Structures are given as structure tokens and as C-alpha cells.
A = this chain, B = another copy of it.
Amino acid sequence: MSRIKEIENRLVHAKYKLTTPRRLIMEILLENEGEHLTAEDIHNRLRDKGYQVGLATVYRTLELFCELGILARLNFEDASSYYELEENDQHHHHLICLSCSKIIEFSDELLEDFMESIEKKYGFEVTDHKIKYLGYCSDCSN
């Protein structure tokens, strides 16, 4: 099943429609998979491709996609929110270089045990987690 079709199924299942703006936004996200985009990034890329979608719609759509688990909203150390496709298989986290702002991704397999111990210790049902390591990348630590 195509990626777009899979998204449409999820929308329809949650009683939403795959409208043209939503499809266009999803296409931008798919075309730029691996990047971390802001709402304005997406709005600009749509405009560059000749599509006119309101910025409010971009925000609303990104929020909707987050609620449906299609997207993840990321907050690095600046004011903006960044979005990326949520790959249901390999959840990952980010190393943020304080010098050049480079973002390096890493998976969190090793953290499983730690998370479980947290759940037991505090009776807290963990549904999501956000881990950020700040520091200096190999290019900048010399």
C-alpha cells in the first residue's frame, strides 16, 4: 500500500478527509523525509511549487497529523516546532550540537529497560518519551 494511501486510511478511520491541502502537505513531508521541517518551511515549499495553502491550514494539518500519530512534533533549543514523519518501527532521538546546531539521530533500543523501571517505580504509564542530548559533535569538539 502506498504511503499516501496508508495515511488516507488513518484519516478516514478517524473520520477525517484527505483534502487537497492535507494531501499537498503530506506530499511535502514525504518528499523531504528525514528532514525536520517547521510549519513555515512547509508553507514556503508549497508556495514554491505553486500551491497556495493558508498558513493556518498548515498549522491545523500538522496538529491533526500529530494527533493521529502520523507526525512527531520536535522542539529543539529554539522557538520553533519541527515536524517529521513518525516511522512506526524505529523511534529515534536527537543529538543537538551546541556549536553548529547539527542534528544527529540515534535509536533508543537500549533505553527499553530503563523505561520499564520508571514505569514500575512510579506507577506511571509511559506512552511517549523525548530525549535530547546536548553537546558538541565530532566536527566541533576539536
Interfacial residues, chain A to chain B (CB-CB below 8 A): 75, 95, 97-98, 104, 106, 110-111, 114-115, 117-118, 121-138, 141
Task: Give the residue name and chain of the B residue nearest to A136 (CB).
Answer: B125
On chain B, the residues within 8 Å of A125 by CB distance are: 135-137, 141
Tell me the smallest distance from the CB of A77 to a CB of chain B, in Å. Answer: 9
With A95-B122, A114-B114 as known contacts, state yes or no: A134 contacts B128, CB within 8 Å. yes
- Of B115, B117, B133, the residue contacting A118 (CB under 8 A) is B133
Asked if B110 and A123 sit within 8 Å, CB to CB, the answer is: no
Asked if B133 and A129 sit within 8 Å, CB to CB, the answer is: yes
On chain B, the residues within 8 Å of A129 by CB distance are: 131-134
